[in-house]
Amino acid sequence: MAENTSTGWTGGKNAFGDFAPGMVHYTDRVLFDEVWEREGLSKRDRSLITVSALTALGKTDQLRFHLGFARQNGVTDQELREALLHLAFYSGWPNGMGATSVLKSVVEENQ
């Protein structure tokens, strides 16, 4: 189990402030301070897994953040395009198309 140390992640706090303290706690302290910091997988691999799950579920709101986060964690744009193409065949063409549209937007916003 990862140590209970803060990475400084404040995504939950930024999104919800004092409105949903439980969501803030579990997002910032458990998900990002503990789960994402475990030694079993690299952050790059965790990003690819997360992008895959969100694509398969059609969760484009969260996918926008995680595609950008995957890029920060070393996944290239070409790898993301290829992963989304591959996922389209396993998670449904509309999910793959939707995810690719989100990636296109993320890449264009960060050029």
Residue 58: how many CB atoms within 10 A of its CB? 14
CA–CA dist 25, 40 (Å, integer)? 23
Burial classification of residue 27, based on how many CB atoms lie within 10 Å of its CB (0-12 exposed, 13-18 middle, 19 or more buried): buried
**pLDDT attached to residue 11:** 87
Selection from 3, 16, 48, 45 nearest residue 26 by Cα: 16
Contact 54, 62 (CB under 8 A): yes
Query: What mean pLDDT, rounded, does the chain reach?
Result: 93
In this predicted model, what pLDDT tens digit does every residue of 59-77 receive, in sequence order?
999 999 999 999 999 999 9
1 pLDDT exceeds 50?
Answer: no
Contact 7, 33 (CB under 8 A): yes
Is the entire prediction scored with pTM above 0.85? yes
- Give the residue range(s) of CATH 1.20.1290.10 domains in the chain: 43-109
Place of tokens 């509309």: 94
Record: fold of 43-109:
AhpD-like (1.20.1290)
Instruction: Pull the structure tokens for residue 78.
Output: 């070409």
**pLDDT attached to residue 3:** 46
